[in-house]
Structure 1
Amino acid sequence: MDAQYVPQGRSRRFAKQATNLHHFRVDIFLEVIDLHLQEIDNRFNEKNMELLTCMASLSPRGNFSSFDKERILKLASLYPEEFSCYDLTALDLQLDVFLDSMQNDERFHDLQDINSLSMMLVKTRKHETFPLIHLLIKLKLILPVATASVERVFSAMTFVKNKLRNSMGDQLVNDCLVTYIEKEVFLQVSDEKIIDRFKYMKTRRMNL
């Protein structure tokens, strides 16, 4: 690794004089690390980090050691259609009772994630006692799935609605996206069933 680095496929005159150790550590390894850090910064900006921090405040790990009522209320305020001003006030009252109830119940002491917390709340029927908290937990559980689904749709849209098909209507775009994204499901449908579907949609002069 202390030997002089020899570039492959290009002249040595234009290559930077460095050892093999410097080349692989600085020019390759650290360069890749910087690219990963830049990608993480682009994906997890300040708002996303704040959202993740608020979501972590409901984690049951360590007997709810990261519980933070203010952050949980802030998380609920991000769903105005689900939590009205009255609901936020009721949620504030529920959170105080919720923490005491969880820490005094041995069935909730060994939980490690929000998924197990949701299942234990239903199992012990405490989701009926704390309906707003259970609603917030459900919204938190579906958020990663919803986010991934949206990114999947936008990624597929670059293939479906390209420059050659830029004038597509909303309904046609929606239909094409569904068939493109769920291609594994549609591949199970036989050509005969598709033909029969179009044949019986309206009367035609010729049989398909």
Structure 2
Amino acid sequence: MDALYVPQGRSRRFVEQATNLHHFRLGIFLEVIDLHLQELDNRFNERNMELLTFMACLSPKGNFSSFDKENILKLASFYPEEFSSVDVMTLELQLDVFMDNMLSDERFCGLQDLNSLSMMLVKTKRHENFPLVYFLIKLMLILLVATTSVERVFSAMTCVKIKLRNSMGDQFMNDCLVTFIEKEVFLQVPDEKIIDHFQNMKTHRMNL
């Protein structure tokens, strides 16, 4: 690694002299790390990081060890249409009683995520006692599904809308995306039903 780096297929005159260690560390390893960090910054901006941090404050893992009332109230402030100023004040009062109930009820011990917490709240009918807390948990669960769905669509769009299909219309692209994303569902449909449906759409000169 202390020997001089010898470029492959390139003239040495256009490459700065450096050891193999310097080349692989700065030219490859650190460059790949920078690309990964840039990708993480693009996917998780400051607002998303705040959401993830505040969501963790509601997690029941470790017997609600991450609970932080102030951050949960900040989380509710991200949804002004769902939580008015009066609702936020009511939520603050509910959170105090909510934590006392959770820590004193053995049925809520050992829960690991928001999904299990929401199901246990419904099972014990505690969601009726803490409607705002339960509503906030539902928003967090929906947010994860919505974010994942949007990322799936954008990922699928790069596969569907290629250069050869660059001029495709919105409706046709939507149809292609649905069949591409939900391919597991469409694979369960028999080919005969697809042929019959296409045949009945309009009169054809010949049967398929």
Superposition map of 1:21-60 within 5 A? 21-60=21-60
**Any idea what SS the aligned residue of 2:16 has?**
coil
Cα distance in 1 for residues equivalent to 2:167 and 2:76: 38
Cα distance in 1 for residues equivalent to 2:155 and 2:37: 22
Moved more, 13-22 or 29-38: 13-22
The alpha-carbon distance between structure 1 residues 172 and 84, as it changes in their structure 2 partners (threshold 3 A), is farther
- 1:127-147 CA-to-partner distances (Å, cap 9, x unmatched) read 232232222212212322211
The alpha-carbon distance between structure 1 residues 49 and 94, as it changes in their structure 2 partners (threshold 3 A), is same
**Any idea what SS the aligned residue of 1:127 has?**
helix
**2:151 alignment partner in structure 1:** 151
- Number of matched residues? 206
The alpha-carbon distance between structure 1 residues 207 and 112, as it changes in their structure 2 partners (threshold 3 A), is same
The alpha-carbon distance between structure 1 residues 108 and 15, as it changes in their structure 2 partners (threshold 3 A), is same
Q: Give TM-score, length-normalised by structure 1.
A: 0.81
Q: Give TM-score, length-normalised by structure 2.
A: 0.81
The alpha-carbon distance between structure 1 residues 157 and 29, as it changes in their structure 2 partners (threshold 3 A), is closer
**2:96 alignment partner in structure 1:** 96
| Offset of residue 83 of structure 1 | 3.9
**1:19 alignment partner in structure 2:** 19
- 1:88-132 CA-to-partner distances (Å, cap 9, x unmatched) read 443232112101112223333433332332233234332232232
Cα distance in 2 for residues equivalent to 1:89 and 1:38: 39
| Offset of residue 81 of structure 1 | 5.1
Moved more, 42-51 or 1-10: 1-10
- 1:30-80 CA-to-partner distances (Å, cap 9, x unmatched) read 221122112212222111111112211112234323222232233234345
Cα distance in 2 for residues equivalent to 1:3 and 1:186: 57
Superposition map of 1:51-200 within 5 A? 51-80=51-80, 82-84=82-84, 86-161=86-161, 164=165, 166=167, 168-169=169-170, 171-200=171-200
Moved more, 102-111 or 144-153: 102-111
Cα distance in 1 for residues equivalent to 2:97 and 2:15: 67
Gaps of 5+ in 2: none
Gaps of 5+ in 1: none
**Any idea what SS the aligned residue of 2:128 has?**
coil
The alpha-carbon distance between structure 1 residues 190 and 63, as it changes in their structure 2 partners (threshold 3 A), is closer
